[in-house]
């Protein structure tokens, strides 16, 4: 053997040792587990991967006890949806969801979570528990999801087994005969040499639960006295359980009876279209069931209604754990349909930014389409800047922070998100404010997505919000990132002046708010354009810079408008800004209304992401 071959052999041996010694127990985003690959808990007791039970050709994703000779399975993901080939893939999605997919049937199984994670990962613990967590957070109270809530044929310390799961387990285990004594039929137990507890199932009931090792001799209980004693214990426990269960059910029925009429009427109204949950299986984010949202919003009570937009009404809700949410329900009369719903879900679910509203999940039930957002206690920007009393809450420092926050959110959409997102309906009503008055852009139902090299496209049906649309979008249906820049410029001028562009009236001219701002700017009287309610809180140089910037953003031609990257730089600059050209005033409102019908809602043609 020559020296080169010897080195190669030693190198291969070292690599093999490294592979053996390093046990990977964590799955992160973009790290997929395919059939044939596994992860192992840190101490080597448990393993997760794909397997086939017995002589079956079906493939399942599961966790098994690795140190036992027969490797008994303790958890199975897709027990109801087996894979017939080796195309299974397990992956972690950005919101913090485990998803099992294959090449033919799409999503076969996914975990659930009522919260999103910034740094999601799944870890197989030495206890045998597969947990979804955020970052390195090891606190069990903060786990987004855990397999211990869904046990298989074996109970480990900490697993949760409710009676509602036993029958399903028994049906599933009927084809998994005991490897030690198949003649027992519907009677399954596991011999664990390490001392874990065992669960025995017979006819759908848990009949024994023993700690410690169990061998064949000790499992053969022939003494009639022991059998009678066991029967007495079982009967006593069963009777006690039935009495307690009856009491709990009675209290539950009495408690819910007051709410039942409203809930029943709502469900009957909802079910007229049938149980059509089309599109739900392809959404990679937490799915809420309708009952949870009914409880959270008090059956969508009018007292909980926050407002209503083109998509439909929005209700405040409180989940059982105390988290406040906003539930947006697609109106029965809304012209936005399943396409807009899926567009908003698929767009905003991938977006993570401080100045974008956070989507917590969605619900598809019958004809209902609902989106669940984080709750914004201060509602929307228009309720402040256009209200004579509440506008006084917004001094200039707060307004300048809001302008900067909106600019940062748009910059993320245009440049830094995985897709180039164009909002297309940016307006004061779609800027929400949290309890610290931090702005968050919302309402992504009519966004457009561009590929990396696309600059401009058009739509045959235009988003109908007068006062914020760029000229090329209003007249020709052409939109680009510069369309959002135009809308941002209008917003800046509205925030500075406290007046709406749409419907603006002045006793001495018939110009729009943009024309009014331009006139003051050219006459060097921009200080008269400022909202007087801000009083002496104004930083005059910042305000005048903002007016100048707003006019740059509302230029008639897209190529004359700055990009959002330039806007952010100019907001932080202390130097002089470029001189704007005369903006497009939209003085001929008949022309505008000829291209746009009234209202704020529309159905549009979207590019596929």
CB count within 10 Å of CB 10 equals: 10
Is residue 364 a contact partner of residue 460, using CB atoms and an 8 Å limit?
A: no
Sign, Cα dihedral of 499, 500, 501, 505: negative
Written as six digits, the tokens of 199 are 């669960």
Residue linked to tokens 């972690």? 92
- Rounded-to-10 torsion of CA 48, 53, 58, 63: -10
Report phi then psi at 536, rounded to 5.
-90, 20
First vs last C-alpha separation in the chain: 57
Report phi then psi at 86, rounded to 5.
-105, 30
Catalytic residue status for 425: yes
- The Cα–Cα gap between 404 and 419 comes to 22
Q: Is 296 helix (H, G, I), strand (E, B) or coil?
A: helix
Q: 361 exposed, middle or buried (CB, 10 Å; 0-12, 13-18, 19+)?
A: buried
Report phi then psi at 148, rounded to 5.
-65, -15
Q: 157 exposed, middle or buried (CB, 10 Å; 0-12, 13-18, 19+)?
A: exposed
Is residue 125 a contact partner of residue 131, using CB atoms and an 8 Å limit?
A: yes
> Which of 25, 153, 192, 425 is the catalytic position?
425
Written as six digits, the tokens of 467 are 């006062």
Q: 470 exposed, middle or buried (CB, 10 Å; 0-12, 13-18, 19+)?
A: buried
Residue linked to tokens 């704020």? 600
- The Cα–Cα gap between 320 and 579 comes to 55
Residue 347 CA: distances (Å) to CA of 92, 443, 609: 18, 11, 9
Report phi then psi at 382, rounded to 5.
-60, -30
- The Cα–Cα gap between 82 and 24 comes to 25
Q: What is the 3-state secondary structure (H, E, C) of 24-75?
A: CCEEECCCCEECCCCEECCCCCEEEEEECCCCCCCEEEEEEECCCCCCCEEE
Element (H or E) spanning 168, and its range?
helix 163-173
- The Cα–Cα gap between 412 and 352 comes to 9
Report phi then psi at 608, rounded to 5.
-70, 140
Report phi then psi at 433, rounded to 5.
-125, 130
DSSP letters of 408-441?
Answer: HHHHIIIIISSSEEE-S---GGGEEE-TT--EEE
- The Cα–Cα gap between 63 and 133 comes to 18
Element (H or E) spanning 291, and its range?
helix 290-296
- The Cα–Cα gap between 485 and 483 comes to 5
Angle (CA) 416-420-426 rounded to 5° is: 95
Q: Is 385 helix (H, G, I), strand (E, B) or coil?
A: helix
- The Cα–Cα gap between 336 and 311 comes to 6
Residues marked as catalytic: 425
């Amino acid at each position: 053997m020559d020296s080169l071959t010897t080195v190669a052999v030693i190198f291969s041996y070292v690599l093999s040792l490294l592979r053996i010694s390093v046990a990977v127990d964590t799955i992160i985003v973009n790290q997929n587990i395919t059939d044939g690959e596994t992860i192992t808990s840190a101490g080597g007791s448990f393993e997760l991967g794909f397997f086939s039970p017995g002589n079956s050709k079906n493939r399942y994703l599961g966790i098994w006890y690795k140190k036992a000779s027969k490797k008994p399975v303790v958890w199975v993901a897709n027990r109801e949806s087996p894979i017939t080939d080796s195309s299974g893939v397990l992956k972690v999605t950005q919101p913090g969801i485990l998803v099992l997919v294959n090449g033919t049937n799409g999503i076969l199984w996914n975990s659930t979570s009522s919260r999103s994670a910034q740094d999601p990962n799944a870890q197989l613990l030495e206890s045998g528990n597969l947990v979804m967590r955020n970052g390195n957070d090891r606190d069990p109270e903060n786990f987004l999801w855990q397999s211990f809530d869904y046990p298989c044929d074996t109970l480990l310390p900490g697993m949760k087994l409710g009676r509602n799961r036993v029958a399903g387990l028994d049906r599933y285990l009927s084809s998994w005969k005991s490897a030690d004594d198949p003649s027992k039929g519907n009677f399954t137990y596991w011999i664990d040499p390490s001392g874990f507890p065992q669960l025995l199932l017979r006819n759908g009931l848990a009949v024994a639960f023993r700690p410690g090792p169990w061998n064949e001799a000790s499992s053969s209980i022939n003494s009639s006295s022991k059998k009678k004693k066991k029967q007495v214990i079982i009967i006593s426990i069963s009777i006690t359980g039935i009495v307690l269960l009856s009491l709990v059910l009675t209290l539950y029925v009495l408690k819910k009876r007051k709410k039942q009429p409203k809930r029943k009427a709502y469900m009957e109204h909802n079910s007229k279209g049938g149980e059509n949950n089309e599109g739900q299986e392809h959404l990679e984010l937490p799915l809420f069931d309708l009952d949870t949202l009914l409880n959270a919003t008090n059956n969508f009570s009018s007292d909980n209604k926050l407002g209503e937009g083109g998509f439909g009404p929005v209700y405040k809700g409180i989940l059982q754990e105390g988290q406040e949410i906003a539930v947006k329900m697609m109106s029965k009369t809304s012209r936005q349909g399943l396409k807009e719903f899926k567009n908003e879900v698929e767009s905003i679910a991938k977006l993570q930014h401080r100045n974008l509203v956070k989507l917590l999940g969605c619900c598809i039930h019958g004809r209902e389409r609902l989106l669940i957002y984080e709750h914004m206690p201060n509602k929307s920007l228009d309720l402040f800047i256009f209200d004579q009393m509440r506008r006084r809450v917004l001094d200039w420092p707060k307004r300048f922070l809001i302008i900067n926050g909106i600019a940062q959110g748009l910059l993320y959409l245009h440049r830094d998100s995985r897709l180039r997102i164009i909002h297309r309906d940016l307006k004061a009503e779609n800027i929400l404010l949290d309890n610290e008055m931090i702005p968050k852009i919302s309402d992504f139902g009519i966004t457009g997505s561009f590929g990396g090299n696309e600059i401009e496209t058009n739509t045959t049906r235009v988003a109908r919000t007068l006062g914020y649309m760029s000229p090329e979008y209003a007249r020709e249906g052409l939109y680009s990132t510069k369309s959002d820049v135009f809308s941002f410029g209008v917003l800046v001028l509205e925030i500075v002046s406290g007046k709406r562009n749409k419907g603006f009236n002045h006793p001495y001219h018939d110009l729009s708010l943009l024309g009014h701002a331009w006139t003051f700017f050219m006459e060097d009287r921009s200080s008269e354009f400022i909202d007087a309610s801000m009083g002496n809180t104004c930083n005059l140089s910042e305000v005048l810079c903002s007016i100048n910037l707003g006019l740059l953003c509302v230029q008639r031609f897209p190529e004359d408008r700055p990009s959002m990257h330039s806007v952010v730089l100019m907001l932080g600059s202390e130097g002089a800004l470029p001189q704007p050209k005369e903006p497009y005033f939209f003085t001929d409102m008949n022309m505008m209304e000829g291209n746009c019908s009234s209202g704020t809602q529309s159905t549009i043609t979207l590019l596929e992401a």
